[in-house]
Structure 1
Amino acid sequence: MIGSFESILEELSKRNILFIVVGGVAVNLHGIPRMTYDIDILLKMEDENLRKFCSLMKEKGYKPKVPV
């Protein structure tokens, strides 16, 4: 599962999407083991950054559960 997290993070970085990782994965990255099944990402709330993020997620087949 971490591999799929890494691929998403690499894509975000490659496309210059500004973000930070928070939650369980962030805790793991700091060396504290914690079971998690998702990744929590905090995006910089700028129109262009959000457009790039939504475009990437759409390309990857992800669909928002709430309107964006």
Structure 2
Amino acid sequence: MAVIMESIMAIITVLNNHSDKSYYEIYNLFFKSLLYALPIGLTFSCLITLVIKPKIEKCLSSVTG
């Protein structure tokens, strides 16, 4: 899911900022932006899944139960 979301964000970013380039340049810019953004997105998703979500669940379970 992170790959799909990062791909969509990379396409939108490249097209908004570099719409006057050729298809080859857009293709290269897309993959560069995807390769730069993907590790950040995966890091955030792991951080949320492994650290933040358990803390929120613990907090909510102590309030309701």
Identify, as 1 or 2, the structure richer in helix.
2
Identify, as 1 or 2, the structure richer in strand.
1
Instruction: Point out the structure with max Rg over C-alpha.
Output: 2
For normalisation by structure 1, the TM-score amounts to: 0.27
- The structure with higher relative contact order (CA 8 Å, sep 6+) is 2
